[in-house]
């Protein structure tokens, strides 16, 4: 495995949010961006099903814990991971990179429909300790996304993460340049002050 460096930086939340909104207009699911420490940079939840699991159930931590664990793998190995979460949804997590060897976070996107089997939904409801009728109602409220759209959405998840990476690399480079200029300017001011003495 190549040497992967992990770097904590400040994200441009407005920019990240706009990309997430674009994907959620296509998918109506769940999208979350983590920094390298597992802090949530931004989260958009457009799914009645995910909202029920995340905010109504007694075991709401299951979703967050699972998406973070999968995202840690993406950050550590600097590659895309895809798996099914405890709620029966397929999630994809993609590393957000500054350059070839520097990872700054992960983008985790839900790229599937909620399970449509009542038996499966009731099993998930038991696991999450949520009223099965509430969860089944959430499934019925979730519009069915056709498989070709889900395939496109998975590709868009990767492409949108690449866009996040490129823009954050540019923002980081500009911040570093500004800091270097400020230090140089401060040094010049000090030299001028000392000469005046």
pLDDT per residue over 125-170, tens digit each? 999 999 999 999 999 999 899 999 888 888 999 999 999 999 999 9
d(CA 34, CA 40): 5
Percent of the chain with pLDDT over 90: 65
Model pTM score? 0.87
Provide DSSP, 54-89: IIISTTTHHHHHHHHHHHHHHHHHTS-EEEE-TTS-
pLDDT per residue over 9-58, tens digit each? 889 899 999 999 988 988 889 999 999 999 999 999 999 999 999 888 88
- Give the mean pLDDT of 176-195: 71
């Amino acid at each position: 495995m190549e040497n992967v460096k992990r770097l904590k930086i400040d994200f441009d939340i407005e920019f990240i949010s706009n990309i997430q909104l674009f994907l959620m207009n296509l998918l109506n699911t769940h999208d979350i961006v983590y920094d390298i420490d597992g802090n949530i940079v931004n989260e958009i939840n457009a799914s009645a099903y995910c909202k029920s699991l995340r905010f109504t159930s007694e075991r709401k931590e299951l979703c967050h814990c699972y998406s973070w664990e999968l995202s840690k793998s993406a950050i550590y190995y600097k590659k895309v991971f895809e798996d099914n979460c405890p709620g029966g949804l397929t999630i994809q997590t993609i590393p957000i990179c500054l350059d070839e060897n520097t990872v700054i976070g992960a983008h985790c996107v839900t790229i599937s429909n909620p399970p449509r089997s009542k038996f499966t939904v009731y099993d998930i409801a038991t696991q999450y300790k949520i009223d099965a009728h509430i969860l089944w109602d959430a499934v019925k409220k979730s519009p069915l996304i056709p498989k070709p759209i889900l395939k496109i959405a998975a590709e868009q998840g990767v492409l949108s993460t690449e866009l996040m990476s490129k823009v954050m690399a540019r923002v980081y480079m500009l911040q570093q340049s500004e800091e270097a200029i400020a230090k140089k300017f401060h040094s010049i001011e000090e030299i001028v002050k000392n000469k005046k003495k």
